[in-house]
Amino acid sequence: MNFYQRILLSMVLMADAAFADDYQVVLAHLHLPAGFSIAVYADKLPNARSMALADDGTVFIGTGLEGKVYAVRDSNHDGKADERYELATDLYMPNGVAFKNGALYVAEVNRIIRFDDITRQLQAVPEPVVVFSGFPSDQHHGWKYLRFGPDGKLYTAVGAPCNICDPKEIYTSLVRLNADGSGFEILARGIRNTVGFDWSPQTRQLYFTDNGRDYLGEDVPPEELNLWTEKGQHFGYPYCHGGSLPDPEFAGNHQCREFTPPVWKFNAHMAALGIRFYRGQHFPADYKNQLFVAQHGSWNRSQPQGYRVALVKFSNGVPVSDKVFIDGWLQPDGEALGRPVDILELNDGSVLISDDKLGVIYRVTYKP
């Protein structure tokens, strides 16, 4: 190693140390229930958003405007990823990622692509196969969440190409299709922008978040947690918000009772995104089958709110309350240290949280 290489290496090491110091500053501000701990699981993941887990423990991460897809691994099983791979670049807001049968599925704005046998080819990624290319190309609310359901089908959604409008065609819909791209169907409409859903481990029913429209007021409309039960449901947008608030521009002759109301409401503009029912054994028993919600945070309130992870408590299959699980990313002066996006449970029962502002993934563990 020559002199200049040693200088460069020392600069890299100092930069890494500075990043670690920054993370420790952020972590020191976060509040968790007694017995829980949080640490950085993986870093240097700009705009880290949705996550998916492979059978071997590899974690895949989609991004937004960054246009990249990453993979990280904890190969030495010390609770922190020590391998990082950049799998794809120059994609069109590849937010959604899903894994099944050895393949990684990635949802861009206008299509779904697939990388086959991916966990054995992280250093030499194969060319993707186009699974489906029938989505609109609108960037506004065009980024997509992607999950495989209990039926083995791919689920995603097409958001509204606006803040408030009445688009036709495929917009504002929840959709699903077979893993090979066939069998496309629209399941529900009236959904402004969902970027998170999960199936209850008790009922196998699909719950999803939806972000309310802007410019009605600082405290309206509420953000929604919705339950999809049958094809043809309409969840209100753009005619009705939160199950009871007619839209002043688009309600017309529509009544809110025409539409499926949310099963739970969050405060306005919190931007509820990724959700995950806890299925593991690592956390205390009263967390079992309860719903974690990443609340990304508001941009359109004089007093910001959100920037936290909430826990929605279920009883007999019905949400009955919610409370803060982790907060502290939002400082009293309004500065946001980070913005949680998605939640993923690892095989050991610990939980990962992505942060697209800081470009990291946190790991939450429990020790009595």
Rounded to an integer, the average pLDDT of 25-47 is 97
Q: Is-contact 225 207, C-beta < 8 A?
A: yes
Q: How does residue 294 score in pLDDT terms, banded at 50, 70 and 90?
A: very high
Q: From CA 189, how far away is CA 185, in angstroms rounded?
A: 12
Task: Please give the share of the chain, as a percent, with pLDDT higher than 90.
Answer: 93
Q: What is the pLDDT of residues 197-244, one digit of tens each?
A: 999 999 999 999 999 999 999 999 999 999 999 999 999 999 999 999
pLDDT beyond 90 at 323:
yes
Which pTM was predicted?
0.94
Distance set, CA 268 to CA 82, 243, 291 (Å): 38, 14, 19
What residue ranges in 94-142 does DSSP mark as E strands?
96-100, 103-107, 112-115, 129-132
Residue 307's pLDDT is 98
Q: What is the pLDDT of residues 37-57, one digit of tens each?
A: 999 999 999 999 999 999 999
Q: How does residue 1 score in pLDDT terms, banded at 50, 70 and 90?
A: very low
pLDDT beyond 80 at 20:
no
Mean per-residue pLDDT over the chain, rounded: 94
Residue 22's pLDDT is 78
Residue 4's pLDDT is 36
pLDDT beyond 50 at 7:
no
Which of residues 182 and 7 earns the better pLDDT score?
A: 182
Q: From CA 296, how far away is CA 13, in angstroms rounded?
A: 31
pLDDT beyond 60 at 71:
yes
Q: Is-contact 41 79, C-beta < 8 A?
A: yes
Q: What structural domains and CATH numbers belong to the chain?
A: 31-366 (2.120.10.30)
Q: Which residues of 58-97 are buried (b: 16+ CB within 10 A; e: fewer)?
A: bbbbbbbebbbbbbbbbeeeeeebeeebebbeebbbbbbb
- HSE value, Cβ hemisphere, 13 Å, CA-based, for 175: 27
Residue 281's pLDDT is 96
220 token code pair: 């309206």
Q: What is the pLDDT of residues 133-190, one digit of tens each?
A: 999 999 999 999 999 999 999 999 999 999 999 998 899 999 999 999 999 999 999 9
141 token code pair: 């609310």
